[in-house]
Amino acid sequence: MRPILFILISTVILATSCMSSKTVIRKYYTLDPGNTEYAERQDNLPIQGKAEIGLVSIDPVYEKNQIVNRSNSHEITYYMYHQWAVRPAEAIRGLVYEYLDKNRIFDEVSTRYSRTVPDYIVDINVHNLEVVESKDEFSAHLRLEMNLVKAENDSLMLSYSVNRTSPLREKDMNLFASEISSLLVEETGNFASEIRQISISRQAGQH
């Protein structure tokens, strides 16, 4: 009787483990501009000089691969099976680089240290990157700062702050990643526009 009982228990455990392994699927999401087109405008000449995108500083809560869900002012949870394919700091740095480079904001844009000293440094500080859940409603929340620093004397030329909350039509992590990507592209564009305005104002002052 005991051998039969042992076989039955073993079969149940094996079946349960098989069922569990089949239902658990870890999904990964990217931060990228998607189908965003980068139109080069001939009337917007690049700003003279090289810009370097510094390492992105991100709040420790959000630096992991796991996506964060905020259900209360001081309460968060990490999604176990919904994760960023690339750590947010690295992904955001790449996205900002791609935008500034393809839109020809500067003569040259780099994300790596080189022998040539950059003329400008773009610093990015991320404070919030999360799904906000409230009464069965879901939103994408992004809060960060973008700074333009003149490398020669480490002086701050421009500080641009972003605090955006965008509603999601449903609780869908792919939709969340897409919305965060769109916000990043849009706000990087606004940051770039302010950089151009500073450049235009300085050129006008020299005449």
Q: Phi and psi dihedrals of 95, rounded to 5?
A: -65, -45
CB 142 within 8 A of CB 183: yes
Domains of the chain in start order, with CATH, are 27-206 (3.40.50.10610)
pLDDT value for 204: 63
Token pair listed for 36: 């965003």
DSSP H helices in 24-166: 88-102
pLDDT at 86: 97
49: closest CA among 127, 117, 123, 128?
Answer: 117
Q: What confidence tens digit (pLDDT) does each residue in 7-65 have? A: 444 454 544 555 445 677 999 999 998 765 555 444 567 899 999 999 999 999 999 99
Residue-wise pLDDT for 162-187, tens only, equals 999 999 999 999 999 999 999 999 99
Looking at residue 6, what is its pLDDT? Answer: 43
- Write out the two tokens for 191: 């940051």
Contacts of 66 (CB under 8 A, 6+ apart): 78, 79, 80, 82, 83, 84
Q: Are 142 and 78 in contact (CB under 8 A)?
A: no
pLDDT at 150 exceeding the cut of 50: yes
